[in-house]
Amino acid sequence: MTTHADSRTGPRSAGAPEPASDERYVYDLAEGSAGMRELLGGKGAGVAEMTRLGLPVPDGFTVTTAACVAAMTNDHRWPGGLWDEIVTHLEALERRTGRRLGAADRPLLVSVRSGAVRSMPGMMDTILDLGITDESVEALAAESGDPRFAWDAYRRFVQMYGEVVEGVPACAFEDALTALKDRRGLRWDNELTADDLRELVTTFRGEARRATGHDLPTDPHEQLRRAVDAVFGSWDSPRARVYRELNDIPDDLGTAVNVMQMVFGNKGDTSATGVCFTRNPATGARASTGSWRRGAAACGGVCAPRGGWCRAASASGGRC
């Protein structure tokens, strides 16, 4: 795989930043297509194609597989200019959305997701709600009219960032969550109030400090840089290496990183996340099928999803 742009590059999107040289590592979604899978990864190429077709896809950009490969072959040091290119595309995203990462007014929150050329479900890392801070959480609460949702997003970010980027053991957060529910006499996470979740954010930060010896970074730009680096690193995680060996996937493909505006699956009873297939993934039969659950749990494999919403739709032409 080359680290230089080639004939797979697509048209430039309106307002997209100009590259500093012939070598590029970041593409807006509107610049890509399905034919750029090797460069943008399967997820990046897929959402780029959906964007090209006019489907409602959250705005964002993709850091290419070539950037990951360049880092892997240089002792995990990023290629020169990569961070500047990411910042340039982030600023373009902020202009298009009218939001700023971590702002106290109209904050931009993003997801940072892996996207290999060949699908490796659950093998690499994801960070959600990046850009939420002590200031932006209040803006999110005011904008949504739901402080509980905003603080739930904040505690989810601290937990996910702490685990994925800082290496905090998952049990540290889970034990703290369980202890709080026990003190409140609660069984389910969704019974926690906004004040409970605000307390949990502070508790989670303390757990991260005890595990790492330092405070979690509060600058969202630094969080983004470290999150992209963590996704790069997850390509070489033990579980990813074993998965590639079992599925005959080459080790030198690298992963792309997709940075997209957040769409929230935990915003209320009308929000969820899930997975939908145009064929049954177990049998290959041509029929719409899928599953869903509140929050990111269905996509992340954290807990069992609920099914049937797409299967029911298959009888009416596959509309989900």
> What total number of domains does the chain contain?
2
Average pLDDT over residues 184-205: 96
DSSP string over 125-159:
-EEEEET--TTHHHHHHHHHT-HHHHHHHHHHHHH
Whether 124 and 216 share a structural domain: yes
Q: Is the dihedral of CA 115, 121, 124, 128 positive or negative?
A: positive
Whether 111 and 258 share a structural domain: yes
What letter does residue 43 receive in the DSSP assignment? H
Residue where a domain stops, chosen among 217, 235, 263: 263
Task: Identify whether 19 is part of a domain.
Answer: no
Please list the alpha-helical segments (H only) found in 213-255: 220-234, 238-246
Distance of CA 114 to the CA centre of its chain: 7
Separation of alpha carbons 273 and 269, rounded Å: 12
DSSP string over 69-138:
HHHHTTTTPPPTTHHHHHHHHHHHHHHHHT-EET-SSSEE-EEEEEEESS--TTTS-EEEEET--TTHHH
Based on the number of CB atoms within 10 Å of its own CB, is 26 exposed (0-12), middle (13-18) or buried (19 or more)?
A: buried
Distance of CA 141 to the CA centre of its chain: 21
Residue where a domain stops, chosen among 241, 263, 285: 263
Task: Identify whether 121 is part of a domain.
Answer: yes
Whether 75 and 210 share a structural domain: yes
170: how many CB neighbours lie within 10 A of its CB?
A: 12
Cβ pair 122, 114 in contact under 8 A = no
Per-residue pLDDT tens digits for 132-187: 999 999 999 999 999 999 999 999 999 999 999 999 999 999 999 999 999 999 99
Task: Identify whether 313 is part of a domain.
Answer: yes
Distance of CA 319 to the CA centre of its chain: 26
Q: Is pLDDT above 90 for 216? A: yes
What is the domain range of residue 253?
Answer: 26-263
Task: Identify whether 9 is part of a domain.
Answer: no
Whether 253 and 317 share a structural domain: no
Separation of alpha carbons 85 and 64, rounded Å: 12
Average pLDDT of the chain, as a whole number:
86
- Residue 47, pLDDT score: 96
Task: Identify whether 210 is part of a domain.
Answer: yes
Average pLDDT over residues 245-253: 94
Whether 64 and 83 share a structural domain: yes
Task: Identify whether 278 is part of a domain.
Answer: yes
When mean pLDDT is compared across 4-13, 137-146, 272-281, 288-297, the lowest value belongs to: 4-13
Q: Is pLDDT above 70 for 213? A: yes
Cβ pair 4, 23 in contact under 8 A = yes
Whether 38 and 107 share a structural domain: yes
Whether 174 and 290 share a structural domain: no
Cβ pair 259, 90 in contact under 8 A = yes
CATH number where 43 lies: 3.30.1490.20
Average pLDDT over residues 22-48: 94
Whether 285 and 213 share a structural domain: no
Task: Identify whether 5 is part of a domain.
Answer: no
Token code pair at residue 16: 């997209």
In angstroms, the Cα distances linking 145 to 44, 131, 137, 142, 261 are: 32, 19, 12, 5, 20
Query: Which is it for strands 100-101 and 107-108: parallel, antiparallel or unpaired?
Result: parallel
Q: Is pLDDT above 70 for 121? A: yes
Separation of alpha carbons 1 and 37, rounded Å: 12
Whether 92 and 51 share a structural domain: yes
- Residue 223, pLDDT score: 97
Q: Is pLDDT above 80 for 194? A: yes
Q: Is pLDDT above 60 for 275? A: yes
Phi, psi of 274 (to 5 degrees): -170, -170
Whether 35 and 53 share a structural domain: yes
Query: Could you tell me the pLDDT band of residue 294, with boundaries at 50, 70 and 90?
Result: low
Whether 211 and 319 share a structural domain: no
Residue where a domain stops, chosen among 240, 263, 286: 263
Whether 285 and 248 share a structural domain: no
Task: Identify whether 7 is part of a domain.
Answer: no
Separation of alpha carbons 41 and 26, rounded Å: 12
